[in-house]
Amino acid sequence: MMYGIVRTYSPYLRALQRSWEPINATGSLQIQQVRWRKRRTDPKAKSKIGRVREPTPFDPWERDFLVEKMPHYRSTMNAVRHLFNEELERKKDETAEGLSSVEQEREEEEEFRQLLKWNEQENAKINARRKEKLAAKAKEIEEENLQRLLRKEEQEAEEIERMRQLVLQEQEASKTFITMETMEAAINEALDNPKNYDFLIKKSGEPILPEDTAWESFKERTMKAKDEEFVADGGDENQVKSAEN
């Protein structure tokens, strides 16, 4: 057991042995301090048994103050460091190029004036283009409005003409209207000339209209369709006329 302890701490013992030798070969005094380190398996010191560490007290106002001010402090310090780095780099460039700070500032100012003048010229060009574009757009809008007004006037004129034609048609149709004066004559004519509204339809779909049918327009369309079908089949117009007669 004792051998194990000596073997474990042999490096420390050799260090202590060297520190016990006060004088070296040159005759000067040597003192070497060796710090004793505690192992993980060693028990707790007697002076710390039952000791409970109290948390470090802090001021709430100081904590809030630091939380609020530290970001500003860090940003300010970063800006200062950045400025110092730029100044250092500028001095290095001046040393490399052989220009003084005054000459470099003068060149930078002249370059800034040229850039400002070029910027004003570009702004003037862009302003002129913008004015031309706005003028063209305004002219286009004015032409569109004029065309819209013309189309509206044409539509109104067409609507007026259509209404006039309707009025004329109604006036022409009103001549055949039955009035109180012509009612008796119309009744007598209807009794003398009866009209039949009935008609037959074949299985093929062809209608059969009576002679006294009231569907005169339908009868005309039917006869015209028959004539066209007969001509398309190779019939002669004379045969059509004879068939009609």
Torsion of CA 67, 72, 78, 83, to 10 degrees: -160
Q: Is residue 211 part of a domain?
A: yes
For residues 68 and 115, state if they share a domain. no
For residues 164 and 106, state if they share a domain. yes
Which of 98, 125, 158 is at the close of a domain? Answer: 98
Q: Is residue 13 part of a domain?
A: no
Q: Are 16 and 34 in contact (CB under 8 A)?
A: yes
Picking from 7-16, 56-65, 230-239, which range would have the lowest pLDDT averaged per residue? 7-16
The domain tally of the chain equals 3
What is the overall mean pLDDT for the chain? 79
The predicted pLDDT at position 4 comes to 41
Alpha helices (runs of H) in the chain, residue ranges in sequence order: 2-8, 10-20, 60-97, 101-174, 183-192, 216-232, 237-244
For residues 163 and 114, state if they share a domain. yes
Torsion of CA 158, 159, 164, 170, to 10 degrees: 130
For residues 113 and 69, state if they share a domain. no
Q: Is residue 240 part of a domain?
A: no
Q: Is residue 180 part of a domain?
A: no
Q: Helices 216-232 and 237-244 meet at what angle, rounded to 10?
A: 150
210 pLDDT above the threshold of 90: no
The structure tokens listed for 198 are 């009935």
Portion of the chain with pLDDT greater than 70, in percent: 77
Q: Is residue 4 part of a domain?
A: no
Name the residue range of residue 214's domain: 195-231
Q: Is residue 80 part of a domain?
A: yes
Instruction: With cut-offs at 50, 70 and 90, classify the pLDDT of residue 160.
Output: very high
For residues 106 and 170, state if they share a domain. yes
Which of 76, 98, 120 is at the close of a domain? Answer: 98
Q: Higher pLDDT residue, 97 or 156?
A: 156
